[in-house]
Amino acid sequence: MKFKLGLVQMRCADDAGTNLAAAERGIREAARRKAQVICLPELFGGLYFCQEENHAAFERAEPVPGPTCEALGRLARELEVVIVGSVFERRAAGVYHNTAVVLDADGSLAGTYRKMHIPDDPLYYEKFYFTPGDLGFQAVETKFGRVGLLVCWDQWYPEAARVTALKGALVLFYPTAIGWHPREKREHGAAQVDAWRTVQRAHAIANGVYVAAVNRVGHEGPRRGGLVFWGSSFVCDPFGRILAQASTGRPEVLVAECDPRHLETVRRHWPFLRDRRVDAYGPILERHLDRE
């Protein structure tokens, strides 16, 4: 059965209530346009706090389920849509995760994924905050179809996309917070966005799935530094063809169709999953294959 995907590209503020209200407006707009599975950006509840190592930022964390899940669940139930949200999860004292949640169309918590790949780069100091995920890769059954959950830095890892696809996901959702260092934008900006888009389109092609990546927009951090989030949210089909794409600089709502029959057709003609040599892939489990 076909279903429509919705992406809510947001400009985030430092106030959780303001962001939740903006997310709700975007979700309602997507639902008005007949979207049935709607995804929000990574850590949409606040500014991207990982630009610095600050113990006070742990106060932003909440349990799962908790206030964000409850708010999104009420909205999902009211609109009869599935919502993919992103939460700074407080699991226990000193144990925190970057977590994606799926609220099914009845408002129930259908699935939870804890981000597996945690970056540590200038202005992306996520290892200070997040414990690596321990739930494995997730494909969650919803009212409208089986959806895969991955988060931002996971975008660059073909292994993550492959395992999630093998679990039956029709679409890979990537809630995202990625942007330019302003001083690098002029020289490297276009190439960085192109690489980001290309690697995800490759995941769609290699696995015969839809891919939906939703980012935030706007400058966050010091005026002469910080990050400029590049938006560019998009949906592509199993051929890697872009079905919908947002701008680099403004909040937008995207809607695109996911057709499982098209996925089946693509996989029949490009049977990459059939021809995998699973008997030969053992070395992929090694950190590096050093020369003898």
Cis ω for the linkage preceding 67 (within 30 of 0): no
Beta bridge partners of 173: 149, 212
Task: Round to whole Å and give the CA distance between 209 and 172.
Answer: 7
Compute φ and ψ for 232, nearest 5 degrees.
65, 25
| Active-site annotation holder among 4, 50, 115, 126 | 115
Active-site residue, 115 included = yes
Active-site residue, 12 included = no
Rounded (10°) angle between helices 67-79 and 16-32: 20
| Active-site annotation holder among 12, 42, 126, 252 | 42
Q: Is 37 helix (H, G, I), strand (E, B) or coil?
A: strand
Check: CB of residue 36 under 8 Å from CB of residue 3: yes
Task: Round to whole Å and give the CA distance between 67 and 161.
Answer: 29
The residue among 112, 44, 103 whose CA lies nearest residue 79 is 103
Check: CB of residue 178 under 8 Å from CB of residue 196: yes
| Active-site annotation holder among 39, 69, 152, 236 | 152
* Residue 5: count of CB within 10 angstroms of its CB: 29
Instruction: State which H helix or E strand residue 262 sits in.
Output: helix 260-269
Check: CB of residue 142 under 8 Å from CB of residue 148: no
Task: Round to whole Å and give the CA distance between 89 and 226.
Answer: 24
For tokens 């799935």, the residue is 209
Which residues carry out catalysis? Answer: 42, 115, 152
